[in-house]
Amino acid sequence: GVTSDILERIKSESARILVNIAKLLAFIVLVNHLLACCWFAVGTADAERSWVVTHAMSVEKFDYKYLTALHWSITQFTPASMEVFPTNSLERVFSVCVILLAMVLFSSFVSTITNAMNQLRNLNEERYKQMAMLRRYFIENKVS
């Protein structure tokens, strides 16, 4: 794919790690977008009792509806909270499923980011050791 071609052209290991982190972030954003769309669809399934009705979304503009659903989706992945919550059984079931999915995805995300940061730290540590050895050589051999 496109990202594989980009990664093949990148010579810096640090840049490769950062591109992989960016890919992961893009994936998380895509998942949250899809979940937001599904959450809004679930909210419109019941015309009498739903989060869409409770928060009078019918009078809001499209961007506010989308951003509210996206906000809800993102909060399922983090310890954050918001005023939108399930108000019927379908919404509750969907919410529970999303929370279970979010636990798996977010823990994998944190693990991958931690691993990438450790890789960056190791790369920098090796570079630091080489520079320290070079400085020591210059000092010991009186090179200026």
Say what the pLDDT of residue 15 is. Answer: 84
pLDDT tens, the chain, 144 aa long? 777 777 777 778 888 888 889 999 999 999 999 999 999 999 999 989 999 999 999 999 999 999 999 999 999 998 888 999 999 999 999 999 999 999 999 999 999 999 999 988 888 888 888 889 999 998 888 887
Say what the pLDDT of residue 8 is. Answer: 76
CB 24 within 8 A of CB 109: yes
Q: Is the pTM of this model over 0.85?
A: no
Indicate the burial class of 100 (C-beta count within 10 angstroms; 0-12, 13-18, 19 or more). Answer: exposed
Nearest of 49, 112, 114, 105 to residue 76 by alpha carbon? 105
CB 70 within 8 A of CB 40: no
Q: What does the block give as tokens for 40?
A: 């809004």
